[in-house]
């Protein structure tokens, strides 16, 4: 339960962030617990996260602002492990370095700044831009379907914010965004079970068509395979482009050897 000071402080901060939200960020406390905040980061332009919708939570201690929150991101991003506490100077991993003057907007702006960097810490992962772009394109689908688990009829349990709840937790905290996401899936012919485009052209189907409900390792494997194929094709490229020259050289060498052998026999 929040202390009176924490409750007063978080109530004021909610008013502030609602009236003047930081760029790319929106956040609010849960109706049932003012210490549990839900945020959504919209991927900034000129980053691999562009157009991505990244949902996460801040869980504040009862004595906030004299101690920092636990920070998690639940949407797969290619930057953070899903639903894992992040070790940042603004998180509960470093209570002594937390400044009580920092507010929710400060914390989330710092999280976004760290997200768009390449620095590693506990809870972060290292992937390439293609992987992050792929996950950004599927983030709306993941949030509203629980990674496709809605088809199994699962419902959210208390505290359940991972894939497997059918998107129920996201829907309960972000009903307007959830409605927008389902409309986006309908207008873009996205299969709610797999997250893949239905009836897409052949060109769009060349990418990995897998569900990320259980994680992104399958896609990462596909990225590695694609890279190997590209390297293999690159190695073959010169011969393919100059096959006439190669053929001519081979004929010249054959004729030269034949003449030398013929001269030796006279």
Is 0.85 surpassed by the pTM of this model? no
Q: Is 206 a catalytic residue?
A: no
Residue 215 lies in a domain: no
pLDDT at 229: 37
Q: Which of 202, 221, 251 is the last residue of a domain?
A: 202
Closest residue by Cα to residue 33 from 161, 125, 144, 147: 161
**Domain check: are 139 and 258 in the same one?**
no
Catalytic residue (one of 59, 67, 87, 193): 87
pLDDT at 199: 79
**Domain extent for 148:** 1-202
Residue 221 lies in a domain: no
**Domain check: are 194 and 106 in the same one?**
yes
**Domain check: are 235 and 194 in the same one?**
no
Q: Report the Cα 264 to chain-centroid distance in Å.
A: 71
Query: Consecutive 10-residue runs of the chain (266 residues): their mean pLDDT?
Result: 95 97 97 97 97 98 97 97 96 95 97 96 96 98 92 55 81 97 97 89 36 36 38 42 58 66 55
pLDDT at 172: 94
**Domain check: are 176 and 237 in the same one?**
no
pLDDT at 242: 53
Residue 216 lies in a domain: no
* Tally of domains within the chain: 2
**What is the chain's Cα-based Rg?**
27
Residue 123: CATH number of its domain: 3.10.110.10
**Domain check: are 171 and 91 in the same one?**
yes
**Domain check: are 108 and 233 in the same one?**
no
């Amino acid at each position: 339960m929040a202390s009176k000071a924490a409750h007063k402080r978080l109530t004021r901060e909610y008013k502030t962030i609602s009236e003047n939200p930081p760029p790319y960020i929106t956040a609010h406390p849960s109706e049932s617990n003012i210490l549990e905040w839900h945020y959504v980061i919209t991927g900034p332009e000129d980053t691999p996260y562009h157009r991505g919708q990244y949902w996460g939570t801040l869980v504040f201690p009862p004595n906030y602002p004299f101690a920092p929150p636990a920070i998690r991101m639940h949407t797969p991003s290619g930057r953070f492990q899903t639903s894992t506490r992040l070790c940042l100077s603004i998180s509960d991993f470093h209570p002594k370095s937390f400044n009580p003057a920092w507010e929710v907007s400060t914390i989330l702006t710092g999280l976004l700044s760290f997200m768009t960097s390449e620095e590693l810490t506990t809870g972060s992962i290292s992937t390439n831009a293609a992987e992050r772009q792929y996950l950004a394109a599927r983030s709306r689908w993941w949030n509203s379907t629980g990674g496709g688990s809605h088809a199994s009829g699962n419902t959210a349990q208390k505290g359940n914010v991972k894939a497997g709840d059918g998107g129920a937790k996201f829907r309960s905290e972000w009903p307007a965004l959830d409605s927008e996401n389902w409309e986006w899936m309908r207008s873009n012919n996205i299969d709610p079970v797999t997250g893949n485009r239905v009836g897409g052209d052949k060109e769009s189907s060349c990418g990995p068509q897998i569900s990320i409900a259980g994680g992104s390792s399958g896609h990462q494997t596909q990225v590695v395979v694609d890279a190997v194929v590209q390297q293999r094709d690159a190695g073959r490229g010169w011969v393919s482009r100059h096959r006439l020259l190669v053929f001519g050289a081979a004929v010249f060498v054959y004729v030269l050897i034949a003449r030398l052998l013929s001269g030796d026999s006279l």
